[in-house]
Amino acid sequence: MKKVFATLLVGMLAVFSFAAFEVTGGYTNATLDESLTVVQSDVTMHGISFGANYLFEGLGIEGGALLVGGSFDYYFPSEDKDVYVIDEVTGETVSVPMNFSQTSFSVNGGYRQSLNVFFPDLAVGMYVQGLFNYSFGTVTAGTSVESLNLEEEADSSSWGFGGGAGASFVVQNLDMNVGADLLFEKVTLTDFEGTDYEANQWKPKFKIHAGLQF
C-alpha cells in the first residue's frame, strides 16, 4: 500500500512539475441568433467573465501546453428592442420593449503555443491558442417596463470553437497575463416544456481577460 501511495505521489508531482495555473477576469460579449429571439433580430449582450485554467507543459513540445479550464459568464440585460403584440383588452397592436440577459458556465480545452520559441527577441511572453468550448446556462427574456410581467427563461447550451492570443509579463514579482479570445458558437435553447430550439447560424463570442499565473 505504501508503494502504491508513493508511486501515485511521485506521478502527481511529476504532472504538477510541468503545470501552471491561471485565474482570469474580464469583459465578454456574445450574440444571440435572431432565430432564437422574439424581436426577430440578432441580440448582442455584454457582460463579465471569471475563469481559471490548468496548463500542462509536459507535452514534449517546446513552448507548447495543453489547456483545460472553465469560466462563469454573466451578461447584463441587452439594449431594449420593440416587440409588437396585440393588447388582449383593446385589440390594438402595441409595442413592448424587450431585452435579454444570460448566465452561463463554460468548460474549455485546447492548445497554447508560445511565440517566444520562434521569436526569442520579443520583449514579453507572447502566445497563441486554439480552443474548443462547451457552455450551459440560462437565457432570460424580459422587459424594462416594471408594470409588465413578461419574464421568461430558457435553458441554453452550446458548442464552440475558436482561438486567441495573449501576453505574459512580470509586475512586482507577479506573473501577469492579458489576452483576448474569439469563439464561434451555435446555441440551443430549451423551454419549460422540454422543446429544443437550435440557432440557424454560428455566432461570435468575444472575451478580453487579464489575470495571474502561478
State pLDDT tens for residues 113-155.
Answer: 999 999 999 999 999 999 999 999 999 988 877 767 778 899 9
What CATH fold (topology level) applies to the domain 21-213? Answer: Porin (2.40.160)
CA distances from 39 to 32, 43, 185 (A): 11, 8, 20
CA distances from 5 to 18, 38, 148 (A): 20, 58, 62
Is residue 6 scored above 50 in pLDDT?
no
Rg (CA), the chain: 22
Mean pLDDT of 93-119: 93
- Distance separating alpha carbons of residues 193 and 154, to the nearest angstrom: 10
CA 35 to chain centroid, in Å, comes to 21
User: Of all helices (H) and strands (E), which one includes residue 12?
Assistant: helix 2-17
State pLDDT tens for residues 68-84.
Answer: 999 999 999 999 888 77
State pLDDT tens for residues 144-181.
Answer: 777 677 788 999 999 999 999 999 999 999 999 999 99
More confidently predicted of 144 and 203: 203
- Distance separating alpha carbons of residues 197 and 175, to the nearest angstrom: 43
**Global confidence as pTM:** 0.83
Closest CA to 52 of 74, 65, 67, 30: 67
Say what the pLDDT of residue 207 is. Answer: 98
Say what the pLDDT of residue 164 is. Answer: 98
- Collapsing DSSP states into helix, strand and coil, what is residue 58? coil
**What residue spans define the domains of the chain?**
21-213
